[in-house]
Amino acid sequence: MLVGYARTSTLDQTAGLDAQLRELEMAGCEKVFTEQVSSVDVRAREKLTEALNFIRQGDHLVVTKLDRLARSMAHLMEIRSQLDVVGAHLTILGLSLDTSTAQGKLMLNLLGSVAEFEREIMLERQREGIAKAKAAGKYKGRKPTALAKSGEVLALAGEGIGATKIALDLGISRASVYRILNARDHS
């Protein structure tokens, strides 16, 4: 059985999700799992977990592109290991890659390594750029917007207004409201 998995990072990317679904349908996927969640927090990817639990021996997990599936080489190898345990395979349509073949397994390892290498290089450049900007006094980091509104948060909370309403009124997250209130309670 061909089991599809489609993912976009945000709810705004519906066109990207629709395109993935079309490709998976054209590939003959009988069941498709979809979600719109960032790949950074792998624990939040419930539909990927469902897809991996659904797959049986001889099945193929089908994705359109490698970056829709895994964020790192470690995560990719974890997924591949889960597929190997049940005797299933991975197919990446955009790369014409199929891990049921020796060449497919080799290519997956190579591509995953190259992708992780590129990401590490990008992060290294980013760190260097930030260090250079800090040394030049041009990088101060993001202003703590919620902390700057602590007085307003405490005043509104003192009036009995709930955290959700405070967050909406001040344009900050509820978590920030609770953080400010907790800091007040523990000081």
For 180, the token pair is 């400010």
Is position 9 annotated as part of the catalytic site? Answer: yes
Query: pLDDT 10s digit of each residue in the chain, 187 long?
Result: 999 999 988 766 677 889 999 999 999 999 999 998 776 665 678 999 999 999 999 999 999 998 888 877 778 888 998 999 999 999 999 989 999 999 998 988 888 788 778 878 988 999 999 899 888 888 877 777 777 888 899 999 999 999 899 988 888 888 889 988 888 887 6
User: What's the helix, strand, coil split of the chain in %, to 5?
Assistant: 60, 10, 30
The fold adopted by the segment(s) 2-101 is Rossmann fold (3.40.50)
Domain edges within the chain? 2-101, 145-185
The fold adopted by the segment(s) 145-185 is Arc Repressor Mutant, subunit A (1.10.10)
Amino acid letter, 148: A
Query: Considering the entire predicted model, what is its pTM?
Result: 0.61
Q: DSSP string covering the chain, please? A: -EEEEEEESSTT-HHHHHHHHHHHHHTT-SEEEEEE--SS-GGG-HHHHHHHHH--TT-EEEESSGGGT-SSHHHHHHHHHHHHHHT-EEEEGGGTEETTSHHHHHHHHHHHHHHHHHHHHHHHHHHHHHHHHHHTT-------HHHHTHHHHHHHHHTT--HHHHHHHHT--HHHHHHHHHHHHT-
